[in-house]
Amino acid sequence: MIERLFPDTVVAREAFDDSVPVTLFPEEQALVDKAVDKRRREFGTARRCAHEALAELGFPATAVPSGPRREPRWPHGVVGSITHCAGYRAAVVARSTDLATVGIDAEPHEPLPSGVLNSIALPDETGWIEAHLASHPQVRWDRLLFCAKEAVYKAWYPLAQRWLGFEEAYVEMDPQTGGFTAKLLVDGPVLPGDRPLTGFSGRWLASDGLLIAAISVAADPDA
């Protein structure tokens, strides 16, 4: 279902359990050798999704190791993103000639744990969420905000190569269109075509007990 949130240039693969056997590359296996079984299984399935997506994009079989902030490190010429949560794993990839970056996050469609909203939301975001939880309770807007900000970070980091805090992006949801915007509250990098990065536009969905947020940024400034 995640492919609905992206242009046709993106290849997406997803899984809803860990039933398919996975063979990891040594560099990948080393990342979870000391992890608990649950972590090893979700990591393996997410990497399997990444391998399959890369193959469909036309790239040879290769490892997808992790960088210093546990971000996936893609082959040259590829941008991508990975997510996993209870009951869901996914990876999306695209050629860097088509997209400058992508970011995805999936979360269970459940309330945020007590106290978490105050640690991730700006005051205006909190007010909007509280109002919409009362008027449109069919969507857990608090968890969706967290999901969108995670997608923002995953799209931001490959471009900026530095941390972005929850308080450094202001997110607005559109309940009618299933879209969202994120305004950066810090200076961003300059993209090809001399484009200062000031924010992101993304899409979200609520389906099958999941919330998913996705961002893609065109590599071509005229696209």
- Token pair listed for 7: 């242009």
Range of the domain at 172: 109-218
Q: Does residue 72 share a domain with residue 16? A: yes
Rounded CA-CA distance 33/79 in Å is: 26
Residue type, 209: G
Q: pLDDT at position 193, please?
A: 80
Q: What is the pTM of this model?
A: 0.95
- Beta pairing partners, 210: 108, 207
Residue 175: count of CB within 10 angstroms of its CB: 15
- Residue 173 CB contacts under 8 Å (≥ 6 apart), including other chains: 128, 132, 141, 144, 145, 148, 179, 180, 204
- Residue 92 shares a structural domain with residue 131: no
Say if 69 falls within a structural domain.
yes
What is d(CA 54, CA 62) in angstroms, rounded to the nearest whole number? 9
User: How large is the average pLDDT for residues 118-144?
Assistant: 95
Neighbours of 128 (CB within 10 A): 17
What is the number of structural domains in the chain? 2
- Predicted pLDDT of residue 187: 95
Chain segment 70-79, per-residue pLDDT in tens: 899 999 999 9
Question: Do residues 124 and 51 both lie within one domain?
Answer: no
Mean pLDDT value of segment 64-72: 92
7 and 59 share one domain:
yes
pLDDT at site 222: 66
pLDDT at 194: 86
Query: How many Cα neighbours within 13 Å face the side chain of 98?
Result: 15
Of 75, 35, 219, 66, nearest to 154 by C-alpha is 66
Average pLDDT over residues 161-171: 97
Residue 178 maps to a domain: yes
Question: Does a structural domain hold residue 223?
Answer: no
Domain boundary among 71, 104, 137: 104
Q: Do 97 and 135 fall within a single domain? A: no
User: 220 exposed, middle or buried (CB, 10 Å; 0-12, 13-18, 19+)?
Assistant: exposed
User: Collapsing DSSP states into helix, strand and coil, what is residue 14?
Assistant: strand
Same domain, 46 and 71: yes
- Residues 114 and 94 occupy one common structural domain: no
Percent of the chain with pLDDT over 90: 94
> Tell me, what CATH number does 57's domain have?
3.90.470.20
Q: DSSP strand E in the chain: where?
A: 11-15, 78-85, 88-95, 99-108, 169-174, 179-184, 190-191, 195-196, 199-207, 210-218
Q: Average pLDDT in the 80-100 region?
A: 97
95 plus 147 within the same structural domain? no
Asked whether residue 98 falls in the same domain as residue 114, the answer is no
- Residues 68-94: what's their mean pLDDT? 96
